[in-house]
Amino acid sequence: MNCFSLLFICLTQLLAFFSSQPAFLSNEVYTQKSFVLDGNAQGTTYTIKYISTDSVLAKFEIDSILNGIDQSLSLYNPHSLISLFNKSTIGIKFDQHLFNVVSRAIQTYRISEGAFDITCKPLSLLWGFGKEANSLPSKEKITSALLSVGSNKLIFRNDSLIKLLPNVLIDCDGIAQGYSVDVLFEFMLHKGLSNFIVELGGEIRTAGFNLNNLPWVIGIENPNLSYDNEFMVTEKVALSCKAITTSGSYRKFKKIGNQYFSHIIDPVQGHPVNNGIISVSVIANDAITADALDNAFMVMGIEKSFAFQKNIRDVGFFILYQKKDGTIADTSNAFFKSYLK
């Protein structure tokens, strides 16, 4: 989503522990250790921690996977498939990454009744995200841009992604990082690993347990509390075999005149969201689901988010919001509360 990091990994581990069924070779005990890989990708950073008796991952393998995804989904790469799609007036042939992400985006668009919409890019540009904006867009310009917005204007036909109107533009930043985390997750399973955590730009998915044989602990920042320019953690969740992502408005915004506007656009109204929500953290079975829904909940608002969640299983959300008196409060559903430490 695209999305900016409101999470960080809080991992407290022993140096090593013996497995319940230790293997022996030449009278030596194989000891489980914690290994870490980190780097830069997709305009942010990644960190992978895994438990193993030996190093089984190479950084170039991770970088190669993420670079392959960028060839499909990066808006910063003028030759990526998504960039070529936006330049086209008809559409392009898709690869597996583009198909996986756009098909899931269309599905989320439908179930969220348009709250999540990857075709919002014309509106984002209009409000100055991705380019300079010195004044507020007129009502007429917003109305005109809305004509090209709506994921129902995207269809798959044979091996191609087709736009039904020539001015349709897509931006998958609100879902692509969650998808990337899932791709890395599957790669690590293929490597034979069963205890690890993948983090990319604050989007996280966990498998198994940490070195203490406990669920991975993840902190959630509170934008109302900071120290030395770092936001403080006020809530923690313990996750095993779950994903958690966050979308928020307090790290990325646009100032036009004396006003500040969220980078998250309401695709129905055509305006940046202004419903008091500061951030939404979502727990789901995979990161692409969580990543799409954290954006949808930002747009829906608190009341609609609770109503929507009743119709879906295994999804939890934690919402930080500003009350009318200016104070910061939070709310969450029962599923999310079950993972709080």
The 10s digit of each residue's pLDDT in 17-33 is 323 333 333 444 569 99
The C-alpha atoms of residue 260 and residue 247 are separated, in whole angstroms, by 17
Q: Is the distance from CB of 249 to CB of 218 less than 8 angstroms?
A: no
| CB-based contacts of 254-258 (< 8 A; 24+ apart in sequence) | 254/127, 254/128, 254/129, 254/133, 256/127, 256/128, 256/133, 256/134, 256/135, 256/136, 257/135, 257/136
CATH of residue 127: 3.10.520.10
The C-alpha atoms of residue 246 and residue 217 are separated, in whole angstroms, by 15
Contacts of 125 (CB under 8 A, 6+ apart): 131, 169
- Average pLDDT over all residues of the chain: 87
Across the chain, how many H-helices and E-strands are there?
A: 9, 18
The amino acid that residue 255 corresponds to is K
The 10s digit of each residue's pLDDT in 249-271 is 655 555 656 666 778 899 999 99
The 10s digit of each residue's pLDDT in 56-98 is 999 999 999 999 999 999 999 999 999 999 999 999 999 999 9
The C-alpha atoms of residue 284 and residue 195 are separated, in whole angstroms, by 18
Domain enclosing residue 78, as ranges: 1-16+24-341
The C-alpha atoms of residue 116 and residue 107 are separated, in whole angstroms, by 10
- Asked whether the predicted pLDDT for residue 226 surpasses 70, the reply is no
Q: How many domains does the chain have?
A: 1
Contacts of 97 (CB under 8 A, 6+ apart): 68, 69, 72, 73, 81, 179, 183
pLDDT band, very low/low/confident/very high, at 296 (cuts 50, 70, 90) = very high
